[in-house]
Amino acid sequence: MITRLARQLFIVCTALAVAGNAFADQVQVAVAANFTAPMKAIAAAFEEDTGHSVQASYGATGQFYAQISNGAPYEVFLSADDSTPAKLETQGQAVNGSRFTYAIGKLVLWSPKPGVVDDSGAVLEHGDFKHLAIANPKAAPYGLAATQTLEKLGLSNRLKGRIVEGQNITQALQFVSTGNAELGFVALSQVYKDGQITSGSAWVVPETMYQPISQDALILKKGADNPAAKALVDYLKGPKAAEIIKAYGYQL
């Protein structure tokens, strides 16, 4: 009797699992490189909670804009700024009313070595370094924020010959992490977790030094009829995602 009951329960559970998978969908997501770590954590929680799966690509916002404009199959776009999603919306490439700000980013000057960067960024003016890494300011909002900070400090011309540009903020971080640049401007989320810098030394650049980095997301036209696309956007607005986003130093 017990064996028969166990078998019946197994059949029912298997049927429910199959039914659940039948209603699960996959969503193709383009994600700004600075949001890589939190997005991976959010995607894992989202998949566990909803059954939907996330296929994410990470890169520079400007490059994603070009790809989307040329028909790339992305269904949701998490940008590193608010102007690019607004442009896509105006051009009719997004679902009307789906755009929202999912995070406000922060810029940080970082070195993997302790004691190199102080809490005022004085190393930029007085430090003995050969290379300063930034992201491409034409493609990555954090790169633009870096150039705005240097202009505000009056150091643009003086440091021009020392700047090395990464294709995106991930590559800028790699330049510093591998020692190809002694320090660099990166996203705070790349070197921050749970209230502290994870390694090295850093100066969190005051927000008055650059234009606010409001990061917007939206559902693209290709995701209009995909339940997983709407589910992901709703999840990004929820408490679990908010907790993860704040843990990486973003504001909401």
- For every residue of 118-146, DSSP letters joined together read -TT-THHHH---S-EEEE-TTT-HHHHHH
Task: Provide the residue range defining the domain that includes 121.
Answer: 107-204
Terminal CA-CA length for the chain: 56
**In angstroms, what is the C-alpha Rg of the chain?**
21
Same domain for 113 and 71: no
Same domain for 113 and 163: yes
Q: How does residue 90 score in pLDDT terms, banded at 50, 70 and 90? A: very high
Largest CA distance in the chain: 84
Same domain for 194 and 123: yes
CATH assignment of the domain containing 32: 3.40.190.10
61 annotated as belonging to a binding site for a ligand: yes
- Which pLDDT does position 127 carry in this prediction? 85
Same domain for 174 and 127: yes
Q: Could you tell me if residue 221 is inside a domain?
A: yes
Which 8-state DSSP code applies to residue 172? H
Same domain for 190 and 122: yes
Same domain for 218 and 145: no
- Which pLDDT does position 18 carry in this prediction? 37
Same domain for 155 and 99: no
169 annotated as belonging to a binding site for a ligand: yes
Taking the C-alpha atoms of residue 118 and residue 164, their distance in angstroms, rounded to an integer, is 21
- The answer to whether the beta carbons of residues 82 and 101 sit under 8 Å apart is yes
Same domain for 187 and 68: no
Average pLDDT over all residues of the chain:
91
Same domain for 164 and 119: yes
Q: Could you tell me if residue 2 is inside a domain?
A: no
pLDDT digits (tens, 9 = 90+) for 148-203: 999 999 999 999 999 999 999 999 999 999 999 999 999 999 999 988 999 999 99
| 110 pLDDT higher than 50 | yes
Q: Could you tell me if residue 8 is inside a domain?
A: no
Taking the C-alpha atoms of residue 177 and residue 180, their distance in angstroms, rounded to an integer, is 8
Q: Could you tell me if residue 13 is inside a domain?
A: no
Q: Could you tell me if residue 7 is inside a domain?
A: no
- pTM beyond 0.75: the answer is yes
- Which pLDDT does position 24 carry in this prediction? 78
Q: How far is CA 112 from CA 16, 116, 182, 192, 198, in A?
A: 49, 8, 8, 12, 10
Domain count for the chain, please give it. 2
Amino acid (1-letter code) at residue 169: I
- The answer to whether the beta carbons of residues 194 and 247 sit under 8 Å apart is yes
Same domain for 143 and 99: no
